Amino acid sequence: MTTPLRLGIAGLGTVGVGIVRIVQKHGDLLAARAGRPIEIVAVSARSKSKNRDVDLSGYAWEDDPVSLAARADIDVFVEVMGGHEGPAKDATEAAIAAGKDVVSANKALLAVHGQALAEAAEDAGRVIRFEAAVAGGIPVVKALTEGLAGNDITRVMGVMNGSCNYILTRMQDAGLSYEAVFDEANQLGYLEADPELDVGGIDAGHKLALLSSIAFGTQVDFDGVELEGIGSVTIEDINQAADMGYKIKLLGVAQLTGRGLEQRMSPCLVPDTSPLGQLEGGTNMVVLEGDAVNQIVLRGPGAGEGPTASAVMGDVMDIARGFRISTFGQPAGTLRKARPARAAVPAPYYLRMQLLDKPGALAKIAHALGEAGISIDRMRQYGHDDTSAPVLIVTHKTTRSALDEAIAAFGSTGVVAGDPVAIRIEAV
Ligand code: NAP
Ligand code: HSE
C-alpha cells in the first residue's frame, strides 16, 4: 500500500466544499493518477454545526485553523478561507513552520504577503501552490510556470473578474445603467461580501500582481498595480464605444518596459471582434505573450465551486506526484524587486465630449489636441440636440499625460460642456 497524501482543509465554503466533493467522488481516479490515495484528514471552519450538504463525518474537526495547520497527521494544508490578514495568514505561516506544503485559493493573501510566504516556504523546504487564486478553473499559473517556461514573457493581459465582466456585458445587452446592474448582480449573489473588491478592481488587481511576478521574475507587487474600477463606466460610453467597434472591459495588463514594470487594471476599450471583445458574462480570459510562442489565449470559468476546486486539486495532485516548484516559478531569493513604471506605454485613446454647436468649436478641440502633440485617427459627431452634440474621437497613440494636457486645455475653449471622458484602447 502506498503512502496516502493527507489533507487538512481550512474553509468549508464554496471552494472548500467543492474540494471535499471532488475527493469523495473521484477517490479512485485521483489515486490511480497520483499513484497514491488522496485523503482528507481534518477540516476547519467557523461553524461546526452549519449544514454544508456534504458528509464530513469521516474527518477530524478543528475549531482553530492554526491548530489544523500544525497537525502532525496532515501533509498538505489547504487554505480556502480568504482574507489577507488574520486566520488565513496565521494558519498559512503555522503550516509552513510545521513543515507542511500549502495549497491556497487566496489571491489577497498571496498578493500582499506572497514574497515573505514564498521565502519562508523555501527556507522550510516546502511548496506553496495557488492555481485557484487566479482565474478560477483556468490553469494559467501552470501555463506560465511550466508550459511557457522557455519564453521571455512580453505581456500578460486578461479579464480576471467574472463579476465585472458580467456587469459590463449585461449593461450592454440590456441597455441598463451601471447602478441598476450592480444592484441586480448583488441581489443574485454574484459579488463579494465587500463588492468594492470586485467593482473596484482590487480582486482582479491581486490576480494580475500574482501573474506579473511569475511572468517577469519580480517580487509580487500589488501596491504597484494602477487600479481603476468599473464604477465610472456609463451606458453611454458602452453604446458609443460599440458604435466605434469596441467593447469596454475591466482589463488587466502587465508588461516590463524600459520605464519599469507596468501593471494596470482598468476599464479599457478592446476591438469587439477580438477574443477579449467577444468575452461575455462571468467568464474569464487570460492572454499570454512570449517571444517564442507569440500569443496564447486561455478562456474558462473564473469562479464557482467546481472550477475553483478543480484548480486546487490540480495543485494537490502535483504534490502527490512529487512535482515541486517554487511559488512564483523561480526561487524566491532570485525574484527582483519590481520597479513600477511611472507612466503607461503610449496607446490610442477614446475621447467623448459634449461640444457646443458653434462655428469653430471642433477646430478649437483639434487645436488643443494638436498643441499637446496628439493626432486624431477617427472622429464622429452626430445626434445634435438644440445646443450641443456628442463628439467621439479616437486618437493615434499618445501618452496619458499628453491627453490630460489637452483635456485641461479644452476647459479654456468655452465649447465643451461637462467633463470629457477618456478611455485607453488596448491593442489585443
Ligand atoms: P466562502 O464561501 O466565504 O467560505 C469561507 C470559509 O472559510 C467558510 O467555510 C468559513 O466558515 C471559513 N472561515 C472564515 N473565517 C474563518 C476562521 N476565522 N476560522 C475558520 N474558518 C473560517 O469563501 P469561498 O468562496 O469558498 O472562497 C475561499 C477562498 O477562495 C477565498 O480566498 C477566495 O478569494 C478564493 N476563491 C474563491 C473563488 C470562488 O469562486 N468562490 C474563486 C477563486 C478563489 P463558515 O462556513 O463556518 O462561515
Ligand atoms: N469575485 C471573483 C470574480 C471571484 O467575480 O471573478 C473569483 O475570484
- 123 and 201 assigned to the same domain: no
- 192 and 71 assigned to the same domain: no
Distance of alpha carbon 143 from alpha carbon 300, whole angstroms: 14
pLDDT in tens, the chain (428 residues): 589 999 999 999 999 999 999 999 999 999 999 999 999 999 999 999 999 999 999 999 999 999 999 999 999 999 999 999 999 999 999 999 999 999 999 999 999 999 999 999 999 999 999 999 999 999 999 999 999 999 999 999 999 999 999 999 999 999 999 999 999 999 998 999 999 999 999 999 999 999 999 999 999 999 999 999 999 999 999 999 999 999 999 999 999 999 999 999 999 999 999 999 999 999 999 999 999 999 999 999 999 999 999 999 999 999 999 999 999 999 999 999 999 998 889 999 999 999 998 899 999 999 999 999 999 999 998 878 888 889 999 999 999 999 999 999 999 999 999 999 999 999 99
- 174 and 287 assigned to the same domain: yes
**Which protein residues are within 6 Å of ligand 1, measured from CB?**
10-16, 44-47, 50, 65, 80-82, 87, 105-107, 132-133, 136, 303-304, 308
Distance of alpha carbon 274 from alpha carbon 209, whole angstroms: 24
Distance of alpha carbon 339 from alpha carbon 362, whole angstroms: 41
Distance of alpha carbon 326 from alpha carbon 121, whole angstroms: 9
- 112 and 205 assigned to the same domain: no
Question: Is the residue at 378 inside a domain?
Answer: yes
Which of 163, 182, 188, 230 maximizes ligand 2 atoms within 8 Å of its Cβ, making it the mutation to test the pocket? Answer: 163
Q: What's the 274 CA to ligand 2 centre distance in angstroms?
A: 23
Question: Is the residue at 74 inside a domain?
Answer: yes
What is the domain range of residue 225? Answer: 140-302+328-334
CATH of the domain at 37: 3.40.50.720
- 265 and 196 assigned to the same domain: yes
DSSP element (H, E) containing 46: none
Q: For 330-383, write each residue's pLDDT tens digit.
A: 999 999 999 999 888 999 999 999 999 889 999 999 999 999 999 999 999 887
Query: By three-state DSSP, how is residue 160 classified?
Result: coil
- 151 and 252 assigned to the same domain: yes
CATH of the domain at 390: 3.30.70.260
- 373 and 269 assigned to the same domain: no
User: Do the beta carbons of residue 282 and residue 190 sit within 8 Å?
Assistant: yes
Instruction: Locate the ligand 2 atom nearest the alpha carbon of residue 160 and give its number.
Output: 6
- 145 and 73 assigned to the same domain: no
CATH of the domain at 195: 3.30.360.10
How many residues belong to the chain? 428
- HSE at residue 47, side-chain half, CA atoms within 13 A, is 5
Residues with Cβ within 8 Å of 254's Cβ and at least 6 positions away in sequence, in order, are 155, 156, 157, 208, 211, 212, 215, 216, 261, 262, 263, 264
| DSSP letter, residue 203 | H
- HSE at residue 356, side-chain half, CA atoms within 13 A, is 13
Which of 75, 106, 133 marks a domain boundary?
Answer: 133
Q: Output the CA torsion sign for 70, 74, 75, 78.
A: negative
> Which grid coordinates belong to 116?
515573505
Query: By three-state DSSP, how is residue 354 classified?
Result: strand
